[in-house]
Amino acid sequence: MIEQLTKIVGPKNILTGADTAPYGTDISGMRTAQPLAVVRPATVDEVSGIVRLANQIPFPIIPVGGRTGLCGGAIGEAVIISFERMDAIREISAAAQTAVVEAGAILSNIHAAADAQNLVFPLTFGAKGSARVGGFLGTNAGGSNVVRYGNTRDLVLGIEAVLPTGEIVDLMSGLHKNNSGYDLRHLLIGSEGTLGIITAATLKLHPKPGAYATAMIGMQNLSDALPMLNEVQRETGGSVEAFEYMPHSYVQDYVNLNPAHKLPFDHPYPVNILIEIGALAPRDCIPNDAGEIPVVTYLESILGRYLESGLISDAIIAQTEAQRLDLWARREAAAEIASMRPNRLTNDVAVPLDKVETFLTRADAVLHDVDPGADTTVVAHLGDGNVHYTVWPSDDDPDRKERIMERVEDIVLDLGGSFSAEHGIGTAKLSSMTRRKDKAALAAMRAIKAALDPRNIMNPGKVLPPEQVE
């Protein structure tokens, strides 16, 4: 196998033994495995050759991007296909507002390339400096701007992919409408490399806002936040780009982690909301004679009314880009905060927007019942109902962890939510898939997997739990 792989990618682009160690874990550090080998192809034809060989011998293969996943989707005893050499941004079309990129392109580099054309690729999250296209397409990543722009699926017009047979499918059209049969693009996005390997994509870009209005808001009650979001959306014509919730315990954890920083307000508030509005119209973006940016002034007036009415208790509005980035630094430190202590349990759930507070209240009560000594850190994309409810159990008892997950899932199911919002399934949520996924849906997924990948070489053991014998 090694000899044949070396012929495909060359001796400099195959790693074995101890050299594969960095690819044996991900950013979570919670799972490890010894790769059989790591290959670093440079072209889609090389990827095709690797997959054809895997079918022939056979051996398992796992596509890997920046290894920033949190659910173990890119870990395993398999041949790792790393896309670090396929990192080109092939084209930015300002007229069509598209970007053609390879699977190894890093998200922050795409941001920079789009910015140079006065455009944005709006997908963003804390790991943007290392996450790669193949990874965030493979998990259908969400991030902080879903409230305005949608998930990854909503930002992809076309893909190029290698199927489990090694055949290359070219679906790289930049069309906004294409109703020619089954949408294989959307089938492969979110499949975590279990149905095929995405090697390139045509991404949808958007006009770059001419100005941002960004604020941190201190509130007493989370129940007041959603009506505020809806009112600001109406008043700004749907221009809210982010609406993020951080309780006081989270912002205090951030200060503990970064002693040079301080709490956002002189007085601590139980609810802290980060809101950002992106303005496009020149009338909202161009500073007036006093140097004031209209959209910022407008947000000030809105929040001023809320202060007078008592809806909010305090607010800080960024006046410079440095202040804006400082506000965002708190929110984007979520992964670091969750990693402050070992033995964590990550619940990445989605509930209807008006059920977030109900979920948190009920989850805290359940946690106290199952593990009175447990602690939590919470942060939420409040604008889309995605809650990151991270638990630090009082010990490393796997049965206790499973009970916590089950009880949290009970609440999510009762509220009409999902146990997986944006992190994917990997191996971390296989038990949740068994317990909670609709049985007919699971059967259909297994049928698709068996039809496309009958030899089960594509990231085996991920996404689909073992079939239960009745």
Instruction: Specify which residues 245 forms β-bridges with.
Output: 273, 380
Could you give the CA distance from residue 240 to residue 96 in angstroms, rounded to a whole number?
A: 24
Q: How many helices (H) and strands (E) does the chain have?
A: 16, 18
The DSSP bridge pattern shows strands 168-171 and 156-162 to be antiparallel
Could you give the CA distance from residue 212 to residue 240 in angstroms, rounded to a whole number?
A: 10
Structure tokens at 81: 């296909």
Could you give the CA distance from residue 198 to residue 160 in angstroms, rounded to a whole number?
A: 6
DSSP one-letter string for 274-330: EEEEEE-SHHHHS--TTS--HHHHHHHHHHHHHHHHTS-SEEEE--SHHHHHHHHHH
Residue 227 CB neighbours (<10 A): 11
Structure tokens at 32: 């490890």
Answering whether pTM is above 0.85, one says yes
Classified as helix, coil or strand, 246 is strand
Per-residue pLDDT of the chain (470 residues; tens, 9 = 90+): 999 999 999 999 999 999 999 999 988 777 899 999 999 999 999 999 999 999 999 999 999 999 989 899 999 999 999 999 999 999 999 999 999 999 999 999 999 999 999 999 999 998 999 999 999 999 999 999 999 999 999 999 999 999 999 999 999 989 999 999 999 999 999 999 999 999 999 999 999 999 999 999 999 999 999 999 999 999 999 999 999 999 999 999 999 999 988 899 999 999 999 999 999 999 999 999 988 999 999 999 999 999 999 999 999 999 999 999 999 999 999 989 988 888 889 899 999 999 999 999 999 999 999 999 999 999 999 999 999 999 999 998 999 999 999 999 999 999 999 999 999 999 999 999 999 999 999 999 999 999 999 999 999 999 999 987 55
Instruction: Check if the beta carbon of residue 105 is closer than 8 Å to that of residue 87.
Output: yes
Structure tokens at 82: 């790393």
Could you give the CA distance from residue 124 to residue 136 in angstroms, rounded to a whole number?
A: 10
Instruction: Check if the beta carbon of residue 390 is closer than 8 Å to that of residue 344.
Output: yes
Classified as helix, coil or strand, 11 is helix
Classified as helix, coil or strand, 162 is strand
- Provide CB contacts within 8 A for 138, sequence distance 6+: 63, 65, 73, 189, 190, 191, 192, 193, 198, 424
Quick one: which H or E segment has residue 430? helix 430-436
Instruction: Check if the beta carbon of residue 324 is closer than 8 Å to that of residue 295.
Output: no
Instruction: Check if the beta carbon of residue 327 is closer than 8 Å to that of residue 274.
Output: yes
Structure tokens at 268: 């601590």
Structure tokens at 273: 């909301």
Structure tokens at 339: 């990693």
Instruction: Check if the beta carbon of residue 458 is closer than 8 Å to that of residue 61.
Output: yes
pLDDT of residue 28: 78
Could you give the CA distance from residue 167 to residue 51 in angstroms, rounded to a whole number?
A: 9
- Provide CB contacts within 8 A for 35, sequence distance 6+: 20, 23, 24, 76, 77, 78, 79, 80
Instruction: Check if the beta carbon of residue 419 is closer than 8 Å to that of residue 363.
Output: no
